[in-house]
Chains A and B, each alone.
Chain A
């Protein structure tokens, strides 16, 4: 069971790492994958810096959690994902954004898996 859970947690971690690094190697492609166009000037800097760091940090935190078996490393990305889903809903309600239901579902599901992993995979007392 624990092995299955580790694999379930590792998969989004790898995905997040790849998505984060893609903002460095192929920013236009990375932007398109998230429904964005690559901006110019400071906008591009923010896109590559903020979004790239967002994904890479989440991936790295989950991987550190898997290696160290400390629950804190799972809570942080879970919190980020939950807030991301929440902000997506707010953007739909108040700022005319599209309702990205598929992305919200993924974020909530992965966050839930991370909460489970925090309790089951932790070796902390």
Chain B
């Protein structure tokens, strides 16, 4: 028999007291489901004013908290890097998508466009604390073995490593890729024959969760959907629901969504809207062309609807298996709506280009297997209603997206939170939910960047009105587009071809549509915020973009070099070797 002396008893009591007071002991650690839509615009779901039916997300929103002033980076990989680490994109290695980083920047170690080993992912932190960690969906933070999610804290994965891919088959959506790079648990993976992205990703998530259900350990599931990235594709039955809905065109849709968002309290009453220079005149199109454009958007709506439907299957599974009550859901998007897609998709050169890639854009099969669809800049602006700009740009339409946090442990709030929040806040929020401490400068025996975001849990509980004070500053830069947030204000620079290459100042709480530039009326604030931006750029190693930088052209140039670089080099070398012989031969003959 073990006899305990007085000292031992005191020590034992202290240990029991410590354990009893720890967050782990106070409540069972929750399961966490992080759902990330791709290129989903600000008003693309019902709780934010959309006509698209999203009952699963609507139910979550009704039982949790909607954030109306949540911001991400304006394109996917930088957002995903910050989402996974809570660290600014210029410090985690992903300040831009690797496909569009110019050579002048790509030499810098923080400009590789892949998640650096100087940061630790939230998945690693959760895994090390005993969580099961699963991922099914798009990664886009590196495709080499050491950079895949399987090596970045996820226990089970099925992941697509590129910017995007076809939703119906294993096929690249643009010619810069030789193939769609899918991996399962770190190894190359072939998709099944009956693949549809949203269905498949939820099936795999359920499979992963089921494999360890009942072992008593909580799980973290990260589900970055392909929806609604291009190619915009949806099963016919989902598209059919929206046939005829968009016959009024993009201006009507933008106004309808603005009105609904106002009714829902997502934006202030009488929010102003700008009309983007890239938004075309709906009435200038023939009825046949209007019919085609309306179907493009109907497929888009069907894709959002299908994503919601399959997300609902996961929730049904969690309820059936008794795991729902202990699960917290976070739903958001990686950036604003995507404006890709030409104004006249039926033009012969467009169809020929698609044919070369094995696609068509025929009306009857639009959105189905073998079809390539995109909504174009005019409907993209409606998808971001009432905000200005869209994906890639630092306007609110590129950066402000839906964020919903819900679960049985999250108090339902009928009124949304309009506190400024940022993508780097998600990781610390998840860590606080899980009772895991963020890394304090070192992790796993190596120095790591500290998390810069702040937990939003106090906001969800209604304990505070904001997590950033009126003097805190949050800087942002991506491909030359830049912004700095302070209190209710934002300075923003949108570069060519859609932006004007000038800084502007807006109050994004009263004027989320960025219609009234306050630069002249508030010169001191403007100067102060601009100085803060320059400090941010200096402190975080923001590199200038080349004067002629154009993200789209850079993407094409990088893509051609990456895909065909060896062939181009071989051609040039061969020419260099053969040409002297030809000249010598001709000279000798004459």
Which positions in A face B, CB cutoff 8 Å?
14, 17-18, 21-22, 24-26, 29, 60, 63-64, 66-67
Contacts and interface: CB of A to CB of B under 8 A. Distances in A.
A19 B71 CA distance: 52
A51 to B, nearest CB: 15
Contacts of B578: 14, 17, 63
Contacts, number: 33
A125 B585 CA distance: 20
A95 B573 CA distance: 37
The majority secondary structure among interface residues of chain A is helix
A60 B577 CA distance: 9
A67 B577 contact: no
Given A21-B574, A25-B570, 10 more contacts: A17-B578, A18-B570, A21-B577, A22-B570, A26-B566, A29-B566, A60-B577, A63-B581, A67-B584, A67-B588
Contacts of A67: 581, 584-585, 588
B567 interface: yes
A67 B580 CA distance: 10
A63 B584 CA distance: 10
Nearest to A21: B573
A124 B546 CA distance: 59
Interface of B: 566-567, 569-570, 573-574, 577-578, 581, 584-585, 588
B370 to A, nearest CB: 29
18 contacts: A14-B574, A14-B578, A17-B574, A17-B577, A18-B570, A21-B573, A21-B574, A22-B566, A22-B570, A24-B573, A25-B567, A25-B570, A26-B570, A29-B566, A60-B577, A63-B581, A66-B585, A67-B588
Contacts of A26: 566-567, 570
A81 to B, nearest CB: 20
Give 9 closest A-B pairs by Cβ, nearest first.
Answer: A26-B566, A63-B581, A25-B570, A25-B569, A25-B566, A67-B584, A21-B573, A67-B585, A18-B574
A71 B577 CA distance: 21
B448 to A, nearest CB: 32
A110 B342 CA distance: 51
Nearest to A56: B577
**Which of the listed residues A18, A22, A25, A29 has the most CB atoms from chain B within 10 Å of its own CB?**
A25
B201 to A, nearest CB: 32
B580 to A, nearest CB: 9
A46 B391 CA distance: 49
Nearest to A6: B585
Nearest to B584: A67
Contacts of B569: 25
Contacts of A29: 566
B588 A25 contact: no
A18 B574 CA distance: 6
A67 B573 CA distance: 20
B449 to A, nearest CB: 34
A29 B578 CA distance: 21
Contacts of A22: 566, 570
Nearest to A22: B570
Contacts of A63: 578, 581
B581 to A, nearest CB: 4
A26 B566 CA distance: 6
A97 B570 CA distance: 30
A66 B573 CA distance: 20
A26 B569 CA distance: 9
Nearest to B567: A26
A12 B578 CA distance: 13
A21 B570 contact: yes
A112 B279 CA distance: 68
Contacts of B577: 17, 21, 60
A64 to B, nearest CB: 8
Nearest to A28: B566
Contacts of B574: 14, 17-18, 21
Contacts of A24: 573
B581 A66 contact: yes
A25 B573 contact: yes
A22 B573 CA distance: 9
A68 to B, nearest CB: 8
Contacts of B581: 63-64, 66-67
A12 B574 CA distance: 13
Contacts of A18: 570, 574
Contacts of B570: 18, 21-22, 25-26
Nearest to A66: B585
Contacts of B567: 25-26
B86 to A, nearest CB: 38
**Which of the listed residues B567, B569, B570 has the most CB atoms from chain A within 10 Å of its own CB?**
B570
B396 to A, nearest CB: 45
A21 B578 CA distance: 11
Contacts of A17: 574, 577-578
A8 to B, nearest CB: 15
Contacts of A66: 581, 585
A24 B577 CA distance: 14
A22 B572 CA distance: 11
A29 B563 CA distance: 13
A14 B567 CA distance: 15
A21 B567 CA distance: 11
Contacts of A21: 570, 573-574, 577
A17 B569 CA distance: 14
B574 to A, nearest CB: 5
Nearest to A62: B581
A18 B577 CA distance: 9
Contacts of A60: 577
